[in-house]
Structure 1
Amino acid sequence: MDENAPPGPDLRIEVVKRAPMIAALREGAMDRRALEQRLEISKSTAHRNTNFLDEQGLIERSDGEYNLTAFGKAVAEVVATFEADMQTTVRLAPLFDVISGIQPQCPIEAFFDATVTTSNNGDPFGPLARFVSLVQETETLRMFDSYAVAPTYMDEIHGRVLDGLTTKVIERPDIALDIMENYPRKCVELCASEFLTMRLHEALPFGLVIFDSRIGVGIRDPVSGAPRAFVDTDTPEGRAWAETLFESYWNEATRLERFNPKALREAIESDA
Structure 2
Amino acid sequence: MESALAEIEFLALSANRVEALGYLAEEPRTRRELVELTGASQPTLGRILRDFEERAWIERDGSTYRATVTGTLVSRGFGELVEILDADAELRPVVRWLPAESITFDLEHLTTATITTPSRIRPNAPVQRALELLGDASTVRIVSYAFNEGSLDVISERTKAGDQRFEGVFSSDAIDAIADDSQLRRQLRELLTAESATVRIADEPIPVAATIADSVVHLFLRDDTGILQASIDVDEPEVRSWADGLFERYWDAAEPLTIEQL
Q: TM-score, normalised by structure 1?
A: 0.63
Shift of 1:96: 8.8
Q: Which residue of 2 aligns with 1:10?
A: 6
Structure 1 residue 108: deviation in Å? Answer: 5.8
Shift of 1:98: 1.9
| Counterpart pick for 2:208 among 206, 209, 227 | 206
Contact 1:143 1:207 (C-alpha < 8 Å) held by counterparts: yes
Structure 1 Cα separation of the partners of residues 44 and 149 of structure 2? 52
Which stretch of the first structure deviates more once superposed, 50-59 or 79-88?
79-88
* Aligned twin of 2:233: 230
Residues 50 and 146 of structure 1, relative CA distance in 2, 3 Å threshold: farther
Mapped to 1, the partners of 2:50 and 2:260 lie a distance apart of 72
Please list the CA deviations of residues 127-157 of structure 1 after superposition, one character each: whole Å capped at 9, or x if unmatched.
43123211xx12x64432456xx76101101
> Could you tell me whether the CA contact under 8 Å between 2:171 and 2:201 is conserved in 1?
yes
Does residue 119 (structure 1) correspond to residue 120 (structure 2)? The answer is no
Q: Distance in 1 between matches of 2:22 and 2:118?
A: 28
1:176-195 to 2 correspondences below 5 Å = 176=175, 178-180=177-179, 184-191=182-189, 193-194=192-193, 195=197
Distance apart, 1:69 and its partner CA:
4.0
Alignment partner, residue 159 of structure 1: 157
Supply the distance in 1 between the matched residues of 2:34 and 2:86 (Cα, whole angstroms).
24
| In structure 2, distance between residues paired with 1:64 and 1:166 | 61
Aligned residues: 242
**Any residues of structure 2 matched to 1:15-54 within 5 Å, and which?**
15-17=11-13, 18-26=17-25, 27-31=27-31, 34-42=33-41, 45-54=44-53
* 1:168 aligned residue: 168
- For the residues of structure 2 that align with 1:120 and 1:21, how far apart are their CA atoms? 36
Pairwise CA distance, 1:24:
1.8
Gapped runs of 5+ residues in structure 1?
Answer: 1-5, 264-272
Q: Secondary structure at the match of 2:50?
A: helix
Deviation at 1:102, TM superposition (A): 1.9
**CA distance change for structure 1 residues 204 and 72 in 2, over 3 Å: closer, same or farther?**
same
Q: Counterpart of 1:268?
A: none
| Separation in structure 2 between the aligned mates of residue 115 and residue 71 of structure 1, nearest angstrom | 27
Counterpart for residue 58 of structure 2: 59
- The amino acid across from 2:133 in the alignment is R
Question: Does the C-alpha gap of structure 1 residues 258 and 115 become closer, same or farther in structure 2, counting only changes over 3 Å?
Answer: farther
Alignment partner for residue 128 of structure 1, among 115, 124, 131? Answer: 131
Partner Cα separation in structure 2 for residue 9 and residue 115 of structure 1: 27
SS of 2:29's equivalent? coil
SS across alignment from 1:101: coil
* 8 Å CA contact 1:198, 1:259 repeated in 2: no
